[in-house]
Amino acid sequence: QKASKHVDKYALYVPKSGVFPKGFKVATQATGVKKNGNLDLGIIRNVNTSRPSSAAAVFTTNKFKAAPVLVSKEVLEVTGGENVDAIVVNSGCANAVTGEVGLKDAREIAGVANQKLGKQNATLVMSTGVIGQRLSMDKIVPALSQQFETNAFKDDFESWLNLARAISTTDTFPKLISSSFKLTNGTEYTLTGIAKGAGMICPNMA
């Protein structure tokens, strides 16, 4: 992106450190879905067991919702947002406009993560990339399983930044922010946010 190179956006907007919420770990891998060999699979996992987790989401209002959108909506409807402990994101292929096979693939990815977590309906899935192509399940599923089996999950800064990289497509820099705040009773808590997107951007989510 020649125009973007006029300004060093990476230097301006990518943090060099961060504070991250307790009880979350992340893992990433380059599965080969992205042709350039970059990271293209990211997983965030809740490892806190002191209380059940809560989940919420907003989704595109596009009539042609991609398979992972439909599957994640189902998960939230079934669970009421309780006990959702993982989000699996792949980049390079959007699994959109893929019909029944796309739904089956998205459910299979969620199912693999659920099996590893030992829970039903505990995983949200997201995909981004090219529309109208089927996911390379032969690459994604083994990689996903491997992350759990080798306990590749970490909670250091570089791992979180890699998660932001893994979900990127045409982005010129990973988007990661984190901050600590205090409740009125003085209790400190943390927010961490990751996003991706550079084009096809005019969301209206509900």
Partner 1 sequence: TLLGFIVTDLPITPSALQKMLRSATDRSFNCISVDGDMSTNDTISMLANGAVDTAVIDESSQDFVQVQTQVTEFAQQLAQLVVRDGEGSTKFVTVNVKNALNFKDAKIIAESISNSMLVKTALYGQDANWGRILCAIGYAKLDNLQSLDDKKINVSFVATDNSEPKELKLIVDGVPQLDIDETRASELLAQQDLEVLVDLGTGSEECQFWTCDLTHEYVTINGDYRS
Q: Which residues inside 18-57 make contact with partner 1, applying CB under 8 A? A: 21-24, 44, 46, 48, 50-57
The CB-of-87 to partner 1 minimum distance in angstroms stands at 6
Q: Does 105 bind partner 1 (CB under 8 A)?
A: no
Q: Does 200 bind partner 1 (CB under 8 A)?
A: yes
**Region from 111-119, 126-134, 135-143, 147-155 binding partner 1, contact rule CB under 8 A:** 126-134
The CB-of-50 to partner 1 minimum distance in angstroms stands at 6
- Rounded CA separation 19/192 (Å): 8
Q: How many CB atoms lie within 10 A of CB 206?
A: 6
The CB-of-72 to partner 1 minimum distance in angstroms stands at 7
The CB-of-80 to partner 1 minimum distance in angstroms stands at 6
Q: Out of 32, 118, 126, 138, which residue is the one contacting partner 1 (CB under 8 A)?
A: 126
Q: Out of 28, 38, 59, 77, which residue is the one contacting partner 1 (CB under 8 A)?
A: 59
- Give the DSSP letter of residue 87: E
Closest CA to 40 of 56, 29, 51, 55: 29
CA 31 to chain centre: 15
The CB-of-153 to partner 1 minimum distance in angstroms stands at 14
Strand duo 86-93 + 175-182: pairing: unpaired
- Give the DSSP letter of residue 84: -
Q: Which residue has the tokens 């808590």?
A: 189
- Give the DSSP letter of residue 154: B
- Rounded CA separation 198/172 (Å): 8
Under rule CB under 8 A, how many of the chain's residues touch partner 1?
83
- Sites for partner 1 among residues 60-99 (CB under 8 A): 60-62, 64-66, 68-69, 72, 80-82, 84, 87, 89, 94, 96-97
Shorter beta-carbon distance to partner 1: residue 150 or 204:
204
Phi-psi region of 199 (alpha: psi -120 to 50; beta: other; left: phi over 0): beta
